[in-house]
Chains A and B, each alone.
Chain A
Amino acid sequence: MGLLERFFKPSWGVHPDDHKRPAADVPLRTLPLPERLYVPLQQHVGGPARPVVLAGQKVLKGQLLAEAQGNISAPVHAPTSGRVLAIGEVTAPHPSGLAQLAITLASDGDERWLEREPVADPFALAPEEIARLTAAAGVVGLGGATFPAAVKFNLGRRLKVSTLIVNGGECEPYLSSDDAVMRVRAAEVVDGLRIVMHAIGAANALVGIEDNKPEAIAAMRAAAAPFGDVAIRPVPARYPMGSDKQLIQVLTGKEVPADARAAEVGVLVHNVSTCAAVHRALRRGEALVERIVTVNGGAVRAPGNLLAPIGARVADLLAFAGLAAEPARLILGGPMMGTLLPHANVPLVKGASGVLAFDAREAARPAAGPCIRCGSCTVACPMGLLPLEMASRIRAGDLAGATGFGLSDCISCGCCAWVCPSHIPLVQYFSHARGELAAGERARLRNEATRRLVEQRGERLARDAREKAAAAAKRKAERDAAKAKAAAATESAAASSAAVSAKAVSP
């Protein structure tokens, strides 16, 4: 960093009101087991899982319900013991309100586990074995990215990553589930991250925690004290500190090149909750069937963190925490990047760190006005983009122009839209443009595939015609030959008869 760059240090990010307390300070509660659980087949990045159970079948807690399919995928397991009621469509936790396939489970209330096979000493296992067990337990990135953790392990080992970065940033307002994990399960997090270090061959680990969580920092420091290669690093509270690229830069000074993976600069990022899940997968042999989730927002009577099974409905969580008012807006995740929920009858998924029920005051958004080119978004953008220029191009339908301004580098953190004094929904413009570009690309590929099919059909028709012609020619030749033979035969017969007659005549 040159002197000039030091002076003009980028001042990215925003400081929204964090609203984390009092929810963060309430002791962890356990959600009473709901009667029905709806376990979606796709709760991760990659291919959806393939069901391996049948409707009506009895399953135990932790039993495999659907297996991973393809290289990047993750299995899902039964969050409790009971009976499979159906495999069908339920509303996905997605703003579109579209359906997705899920396995519906009726719990028997016994919570009987499948026989678990804990690993006494994970550090004696080969790294590949740790990755295999982690994958089998269905562990995915719990910070919200939901990328299968084991795939990242293998990538990190292949690229010889030296530093594991453990993300305890949790910069999203309202959320405190990672905070709760670090406070309550600090030893599990530290053990889990050391297992991850072993799995990827990292020499040291840096745990980045925003300095607005002093209790979590203290707990983690105590848990990590015996291990010299694990450093707890408080980082300034600033949104989006919990974004991979920004946390890597703050902790190591390294900048991940565009279009490259963090592992290529020698670091790998895992979330604290993911590390705790890795610990449970190995030390206890437990599949990922539950998670700690923050229930918060103005409409919630008793906000706090809940330990809830995957597949519980958002409505169950809200009913347990109590509603003080009819929620004006339901969000899965944080307010900055979370997804709007169409209604509360959607299942809790692995990547859901929070459920927010906003009251009318929190949900109120002023109408969008014209851009006054104030440049706030440019200053706030942690990626150094020009959101106002991209949005004005997308508004005019010039998606290529927006791409030229770095649309593909946007991390959808929402800083620009948050800070905009005209309240322009910038992120929605970018999401729309990306969706359109992806749809265009799909259509192009489809067009190409169609061309290939047409060509193949043309070839087939030509071949058929050729073969038909050849067959016809052959038949004709055969017919001709037969005819010729017949003709020859008649001729010779005639000749012989003639001869006979001649003979007969000659005497």
Chain B
Amino acid sequence: MSATVLSAPVAAPHAATSASVSRVMLWVMAALAPATLFGFWLYGWPAVHLWWITIAFALLGESLCLRLMRRAALPVLFDGSALLTGWLLALSLPPWAPWWIGATGGFFATVIAKQVFGGLGQNLFNPAMVARVALLISFPVQMTLWVAPVPLGSAAAPGFVDGLRITLGALPGALDAVASASVLGHAKTELSRGVDLLHSFAVSSAPTFGLDGMRAGSMGETASLLLAGGGALLLALRIISWHIPLAMLAAIALPAAILHAADPARYLDAGSHLLAGGTLLGAFFIATDYVTSPNTRAGQLLFGAGVGGLTFLIRTWGGYPEGIAFAVLLMNALVPVIDRYLRPRIHGRDRRGRALDIPDGEGS
């Protein structure tokens, strides 16, 4: 018999799922698109420009690193992960922030928070959140300047060119005209001034909010319904599981509801906590990042609850009005520990890995 032996035999299975990394990334982007488009409409051209600048620099950082490592850049760029990182970072930035905020952030996210760790799958921390926190600490003023909604088509909305000039910082003063406060920021400021919540939200200049998302905030965080819809899409496609979002939302809402019931003058209600800030964006799109969240279902519940609980703690008693990014990073650091201790039970073994006992009554 002729024996044309294959040089490298391939092991089973000889079939595979149609899912792939780039397909997962594409679906996540599709789920993000409605909320992003709403953000574009709500905050106008400056938001659009900031968005693409952030993504461009995230991709630039990634390809630069791959070039330095002498690896082919194109296939890695096409997996979509760097694009998604830039996108998520952009959504968490103030929509009228200057271009260099987005550029620094995007570059920082892929170079320092991702490629330095070894690239996709190796980073311990969520790159978008690392970049956001780095920006927040380095440029606190620019990172907390919010704009009131100026929907495209309205009189106050800047046009394409003006929008670009705002983003490039060539229209000083434009931002002051529409500056506003976010709900969480307003509550924190007023509380620190000694004004209780019942009074501070009663005045007319206070930020309003509802499910419609017509309020000040980062580019992609106010469209609560669209974000929840995108999350539902990811859940339905089984790209994410319910464990992290549910645990995280519950861990924010429960203590908020309890404390609000106890003292409504000092503590925001659960609804505000869930709708304001990046809660929904974080729960469905950021905390669920595969690379930086635990692998097991039990671990994901613990992780989600940790992110939610820490967010609530930071918002309520911490120095910053918003705590999603810090909470995500803190829990990211705990993921290896969670993965080490919360392993699934092996079939035929108990939780400690010892073989189950052979039942006495059997076989006789």
Contact = CB atoms under 8 A, between A and B. Distances in A.
**A and B touching (C-beta < 8 Å)?**
yes
Interface of A: 8, 10, 14, 16, 90-91, 95-97, 99, 159-162, 173, 245, 249, 255-260, 263-266, 329, 331, 333, 335-340, 342-343, 345, 356, 358, 362-363, 365-366, 369-376, 378-379, 381-386, 388-389, 406, 409, 412, 414, 417-423, 425, 427-428, 431
Given A370-B119, A384-B345, A386-B295, A264 B362 contact: yes
Contacts of A14: 17
Identify the 10 closest CB pairs spanning chains A and B, nearest first: A97-B5, A414-B13, A428-B11, A95-B9, A257-B356, A258-B348, A375-B295, A374-B290, A258-B355, A266-B362
A380 to B, nearest CB: 9
Interface in B17-48: 17, 19-21, 23-24
Given A384-B346, A406-B346, A425 B11 contact: yes
A355 to B, nearest CB: 13
Given A329-B14, A385-B346, 20 more contacts: A245-B348, A255-B356, A256-B348, A257-B348, A257-B355, A264-B362, A265-B362, A265-B363, A336-B15, A343-B4, A370-B119, A372-B21, A372-B81, A378-B296, A378-B344, A379-B297, A383-B346, A418-B15, A421-B17, A421-B21
Contacts of A264: 358, 362-363
B12 interface: yes
B79 A369 contact: yes
Given A263-B363, A338-B12, A363-B14, A373 B346 contact: no
A386 B19 contact: no
A373 B295 contact: yes
A33 to B, nearest CB: 20
Nearest to B298: A8
A264 B355 CA distance: 13
Given A342-B6, A365-B16, A373-B290, A266 B21 contact: no
B88 to A, nearest CB: 15
12 contacts: A260-B348, A265-B362, A331-B12, A337-B13, A345-B1, A365-B10, A366-B20, A372-B21, A386-B296, A409-B347, A418-B13, A421-B24
Nearest to A388: B295
B93 to A, nearest CB: 25
Contacts of A421: 17, 19-21, 23-24
Contacts of B10: 95, 340, 365, 425, 428
B164 to A, nearest CB: 35
B323 to A, nearest CB: 25
Contacts of B358: 257, 260, 264-265
B11 A95 contact: yes
- Taking each of B15, B23, B343, which has the highest tally of chain A beta carbons within 10 Å of its own beta carbon? B15
Contact of A417 (B16, B349, B356): B16
A420 B241 CA distance: 16
B11 A373 contact: no
A336 B13 contact: yes
B2 interface: yes
B69 to A, nearest CB: 13
- Taking each of A159, A345, A372, A427, which has the highest tally of chain B beta carbons within 10 Å of its own beta carbon? A372
A417 B296 contact: no
